[in-house]
Amino acid sequence: MKIIMLGAPGAGKGTQAKMIAEKYSIPHVSTGDIFRANIKNGTELGKQAKEYMDAGKLVPDELTVKILLDRVAQDDCKNGYVLDGFPRTIPQAEVLENALNELGDKIDFAVNVDVPDENIVRRMSGRRACLKCGATYHIEHIPPKQEGICDTCGSELVLRDDDKPETVQNRLKVYHEQTQPLIDFYTERKVLKTVDGTKDMKEVFADIIAILG
């Protein structure tokens, strides 16, 4: 079973991807993780990706897909995988589709975790992080025992720049421009399934499992 996770930043698709991977005993393939592993291991593809990243440029789609295909060709992916963070754009989706076609393969499901923008802004701007020990909280859902103070190490909690409402709005704008068209792309391929991401995390997971079977 080959699955792509779609959804805006903060929609919770990464969490769901990990849970799906665990349930079906298939790898959770995050492009960020693959890049880091290739760079750390000094592979040829990793060296090429690092050149772009060091220059502050985006890694080209063709190279990203090469790194991805190299990962999904490994033994642990023979029963399938969950792709998280790729594709982000139509050109990436097309390059991936063509590459899989050549292998006589295809994506089985594109799962869209749908959450309205205002929910995401509220969700992310409620996050608080401890920069000292890395613990994370949410002022509504997982509040610290003492407001603004980390339960684990007693340090002050902060709202990360990434989670500030204006930053989140910008990220959502980019998402809608670049990634939203993928919903149409996978709808045309008859593999898109949408779940309501505003529900409790376990309920969202149950809805996804009902789709995947």
Residue ranges of domains in the chain: 2-115+173-212
When pLDDT is averaged across residues 86-104 and rounded to a whole number, the result is 90
Helices (H), the chain: 13-24, 31-40, 44-54, 61-72, 90-102, 117-125, 165-178, 181-188, 201-212
CA R_g for the chain: 18
Task: Give residue for tokens 């990793």.
Answer: 46
> For residue 67, which of 36, 98, 112, 21 has the smallest C-alpha distance?
36
Confidence of residue 82 (pLDDT cuts 50, 70, 90): very high
pLDDT digits (tens, 9 = 90+) for 184-204: 999 999 999 999 999 999 999
* β partners of residue 21: none
Confidence of residue 28 (pLDDT cuts 50, 70, 90): very high
**Rounded distance between C-alpha atoms, residue 161 and residue 167, angstroms:** 7
When pLDDT is averaged across residues 107-133 and rounded to a whole number, the result is 94
Residue 2 and residue 107 in contact, taking contact as beta carbons nearer than 8 Å: yes
Q: Is pLDDT at 59 greater than 90 in this prediction?
A: no
When pLDDT is averaged across residues 25-47 and rounded to a whole number, the result is 91
Half-sphere exposure of 116 (CA within 13 A, CB side): 4
Q: Is pLDDT at 41 greater than 90 in this prediction?
A: yes
The CATH fold assigned to 2-115+173-212 is: Rossmann fold (3.40.50)
Q: Is pLDDT at 126 greater than 90 in this prediction?
A: yes
How much is the pLDDT for 158? Answer: 96
Residues serving a catalytic function are 13, 88, 127, 160, 171
Q: Is pLDDT at 183 greater than 90 in this prediction?
A: yes
How much is the pLDDT for 114? Answer: 96
